[in-house]
Amino acid sequence: MRAQLGTFALRRFINAVVDSTEVTPSLGEMVHHHLEVDWARMKTTPYHALFAVHDSRERWIELRIEDARGYPDALYERGRALLSIGVNGALVTPEDEDRARQAFRTRVFRTCRTCGEHFASWLDYYAHIKTAHWETGDGVGA
């Protein structure tokens, strides 16, 4: 799948990737050891940013962001942290967790859509979804 993505839609895309791991954790577990996430931002003209999910033989998703020039590096670091965690699902590595902690620092990492509780890390958020809302009839996994 190849698509152009406006930077304004980056957060929506990231949230969709992360949300998909709530209802399909087995997918995250399957790809964890097989797919890699690259997030590269060109420093010269035409200032594109490229996101790719790939393995050693094939690219599965490739997104090129056209209007990357006016956005700070921090946005891309947050995107990289979220996308990497979203692709890897429940099997997040300590490096992914550290990257998210560094990118978000004092910000809330994720807010539960069902109860509004805030979480500082992906593992805490995922555990909350699994213990408080999974197959309980209040939204996620129901």
Q: Render pLDDT for 57-79 as a digit per residue (tens, 0 to 9).
A: 776 667 666 655 566 666 666 66
pLDDT beyond 50 at 5: no
pLDDT beyond 80 at 112: yes
**What is the predicted pLDDT for the residue at 127?**
78
This prediction has a pTM of 0.38
Interhelix angle 94-104/73-88, rounded to 10 degrees, is 150
- CA–chain centroid gap for 59, Å, is 17
Q: Is residue 115 part of a domain?
A: no
Q: Is residue 127 part of a domain?
A: no
Q: Is residue 99 part of a domain?
A: yes
Q: Is residue 141 part of a domain?
A: no
Closest CA to 53 of 11, 24, 13, 105: 13
pLDDT digits (tens, 9 = 90+) for 11-56: 566 666 656 655 554 444 444 445 566 667 766 666 677 777 676 7
Q: What is the number of structural domains in the chain?
A: 1
Q: Is residue 42 part of a domain?
A: yes
pLDDT beyond 70 at 83: no
| Strand duo 2-4 + 59-65: pairing | parallel
Q: Is residue 64 part of a domain?
A: yes
pLDDT beyond 60 at 96: yes
Strand residue runs (E) in 22-131: 36-41, 49-54, 59-65, 110-111, 118-119
Q: Is residue 119 part of a domain?
A: no
First to last CA, the chain: 29
Q: Is residue 12 part of a domain?
A: yes
More confident residue, 96 or 21: 96
Range of the domain at 20: 2-105
